[in-house]
């Protein structure tokens, strides 16, 4: 099997692991790669059996160690204009092209390339490789892998998430919770709206309630955090409702999201929405339609990487990269799931997020080399 990071990356990019597809071929290949190094990897399947996480540990499992985490899925290439086959690695002018090179198979390739050295080193503390599925569609795979790590031995001290950060240390990002609200009113002829319950107008009242909450949060100095913008945001993204101009809309659905700066605030927003629905919106609607309903469901819920300074992962990351400052990022990641269970967690990975999700996605060869240097240093740290 190949063991240079570029050869491994070529194999990983060759598996079309767009989130709507199975990732099992990639997982099987990685499991075989670990087996060849004498490491037994665990495969954790989802309930459909078509997707899986992989967890492999090198070093003593009864000690607290370090997690290296990355996702195996990539975003689609549909409708994008690529100069070369997105699932075939192409190296041009120091840049390595292919879907997922930056986000984030480049990192996985480096981590796997470091395996032979880590196996050969007599590690005093273990390193856990956590490869997840379905990150791009709401971090659906990672909770099971975190749970398994916590069962397996003592809680790891730190987690490094290899999302593209140009090998800088990222110590915070907002959470991301996606919701959908379905409203049922009562349809009738638009000439007699007093006989119906207009679900679109009810949706509008709900959204105005969200706007009021947004204004209050934005104006509260206590909610400021080192993000842009510095407060939790609430946004409505889609709306569908009604059937014709001359019918009072009987149904309306809309999708919205909350980007939280801290744990707890999402629940406060939900609680106020629920109070508004139960005390104000529904009683009014049910005067004419006892069956009127307002239901909100959560599509995905990714916790924030709560901004912290000076934790063990940040200190070690700064030492290994030689970069003394940390930053926050506008995108979400799996990091909050590791932080939630008490691991010091930062993001540090090769490549630039600006190249992610785009046609001709690439990663600079120098970024991959820097990541190998980082992992080399990490190995020496764990052996000490
Ligand atoms: Zn990613």
Average pLDDT score, the chain? 96
| CA–centroid distance, residue 265 to ligand 1 (Å) | 25
**What is the SS3 assignment for 232?**
coil
| CA–centroid distance, residue 278 to ligand 1 (Å) | 39
Q: What are phi and psi of 142, to 5 degrees?
A: -65, -30
| CA–centroid distance, residue 182 to ligand 1 (Å) | 30
178-192 pLDDT, tens digit each: 999 999 999 999 999
Does pLDDT of 59 surpass 80?
A: yes
Radius of gyration of the chain (CA): 24
| CA–centroid distance, residue 237 to ligand 1 (Å) | 22
Mention the CATH class of domain 5-172+303-383: alpha beta
Predicted confidence at residue 2, as pLDDT, reads 77
Q: Is 73 among the residues known to form the active site? A: yes
**pLDDT band for position 242 (cuts 50, 70, 90):** very high
Extents of the domains making up the chain: 5-172+303-383, 176-302
| CA–centroid distance, residue 56 to ligand 1 (Å) | 20
Burial class of residue 79 (count of CB atoms within 10 Å of its CB; 0-12, 13-18, 19+) = exposed
Does pLDDT of 380 surpass 90?
A: yes
CB 271 within 8 A of CB 244: no
Rounded Cα–Cα distance for residues 101 and 364 (Å): 9
Q: What are phi and psi of 207, to 5 degrees?
A: -65, -35
Does pLDDT of 101 surpass 90?
A: yes
| CA–centroid distance, residue 246 to ligand 1 (Å) | 46
Does pLDDT of 234 surpass 90?
A: yes
Q: What are phi and psi of 215, to 5 degrees?
A: -65, -40
Q: Is 182 among the residues known to form the active site? A: no
**What is the SS3 assignment for 24?**
helix
297-326 pLDDT, tens digit each: 999 999 999 998 899 999 999 999 999 999
Rounded Cα–Cα distance for residues 134 and 53 (Å): 9
| CA–centroid distance, residue 93 to ligand 1 (Å) | 24
**pLDDT band for position 330 (cuts 50, 70, 90):** confident
| CA–centroid distance, residue 99 to ligand 1 (Å) | 11
Question: Which of these is catalytic: 135, 163, 334, 361?
Answer: 135
Give the residue-averaged pLDDT of 338-346.
97
| CA–centroid distance, residue 331 to ligand 1 (Å) | 9
Predicted confidence at residue 263, as pLDDT, reads 92
Predicted confidence at residue 309, as pLDDT, reads 87
Percent of the chain's residues with pLDDT above 90: 95
Question: Which of these is catalytic: 10, 16, 73, 361?
Answer: 73
176-233 pLDDT, tens digit each: 999 999 999 999 999 999 999 999 999 999 999 999 999 999 999 988 999 999 999 9
Give the residue-averaged pLDDT of 161-183.
97
15-36 pLDDT, tens digit each: 999 999 999 999 999 999 999 9
Rounded Cα–Cα distance for residues 288 and 359 (Å): 52
DSSP one-letter code for 305: B
Architecture label for domain 176-302: 2-Layer Sandwich (3.30)
């Amino acid at each position: 099997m190949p063991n240079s990071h570029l050869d491994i990356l070529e194999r990983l990019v060759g598996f079309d692991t767009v989130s709507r597809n199975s990732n099992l071929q990639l997982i099987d290949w990685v499991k075989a790669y670990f087996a060849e190094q004498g490491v037994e990897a665990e495969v954790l399947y989802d309930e459909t059996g078509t997707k899986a996480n992989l967890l492999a540990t090198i070093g003593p499992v009864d000690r607290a160690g370090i997690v290296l985490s990355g996702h195996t899925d990539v975003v689609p290439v549909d409708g994008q204009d690529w100069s070369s086959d997105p699932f075939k690695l192409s190296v041009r002018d120091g840049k390595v092209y292919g879907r997922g090179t930056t986000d984030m198979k480049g990192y996985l390739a480096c981590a796997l390339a470091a395996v032979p050295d880590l196996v050969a080193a007599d590690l005093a503390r273990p390193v856990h490789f956590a490869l997840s599925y379905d990150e791009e569609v709401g971090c659906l795979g990672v909770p099971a892998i975190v749970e398994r790590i916590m069962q397996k031995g003592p809680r790891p001290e730190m987690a490094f998430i290899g999302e593209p950060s140009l090998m800088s240390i990222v110590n915070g990002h907002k959470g991301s919770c996606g919701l959908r609200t379905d409203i049922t009113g009562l349809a009738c002829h638009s000439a007699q709206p007093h006989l119906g319950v207009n679900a679109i107008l009810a949706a509008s009242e709900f959204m105005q309630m969200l706007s009021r909450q947004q204004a209050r949060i934005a104006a509260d100095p206590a909610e400021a955090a080192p993000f842009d913008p510095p407060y939790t945001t609430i946004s409505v993204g889609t709306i569908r409702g009604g059937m014709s101009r001359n019918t009072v809309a009987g149904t309306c659905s809309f999708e919205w999201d909350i980007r939280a700066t801290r744990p707890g605030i999402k629940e406060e927003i939900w609680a106020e929405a629920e109070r508004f629905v139960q005390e104000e919106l529904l009683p009014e609607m049910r005067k004419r339609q006892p069956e009127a309903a307002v239901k909100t469901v959560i599509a995905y819920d990714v916790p924030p990487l709560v901004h912290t300074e000076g934790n063990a992962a940040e200190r070690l990351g700064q030492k290994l990269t030689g970069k003394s400052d940390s930053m926050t990022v506008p995108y979400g990641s799996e990091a909050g799931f590791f932080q939630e269970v008490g691991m010091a967690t930062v993001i540090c990975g090769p490549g630039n997020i600006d190249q992610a999700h785009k046609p001709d996605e690439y990663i600079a060869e120098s970024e991959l080399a820097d990541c190998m240097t980082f992992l080399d240093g990490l190995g020496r740290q764990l052996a000490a």
